Amino acid sequence: MTDRKSIFNYKAQTATVRSWDDIEEHFTKWFQGQYQDNIALLVKHIKMSGLSQRLFGYTSMDKLVVGIYNPMEWNREALHIEFDVEGQKWWFKYYPKPNEPVEFERQYPANKGIEKFDNFIKMINW
């Protein structure tokens, strides 16, 4: 449980959101066809499905962070998505509120990433 002192001393750690086109370019050009192709396909799906109209995102190296606020906080209603090339697995971690533990942490096989992303979006009602 969070104490009152830490609530009042909390300073948001925000990140500047990027356009979905910039995010796609980051994963396709920066990593030049390496394992991030999976995340680039997810970003294309977000753009094509219309989710890009209500979701925001930014990148942190090889991670995609998705949320509903602009600016975004890395630990407030934010889904962190990574792809492990060696294990051929997706890693999803959802941070609900600052100073609270991860609420949702799952790993999925490579072929289930987009399906599980869509399921998460529906589950959390984004």
Q: How far apart are CA 39 and CA 37, in angstroms?
A: 5
pLDDT, tens only, 18-44: 999 999 988 887 766 555 578 999 999
pLDDT, tens only, 61-113: 889 999 999 999 989 999 999 998 889 999 999 999 988 899 999 999 999 99
User: What is the domain partition of the chain in residue ranges?
Assistant: 14-124
Residue for token pair 């750690």? 13
* 17 vs 85, residue with greater confidence: 17
Rounded mean pLDDT, 50-66: 94
Q: What's residue 123's pLDDT?
A: 95
Question: What is the bridge-based pairing of β-strands 78-84 and 104-109?
Answer: unpaired
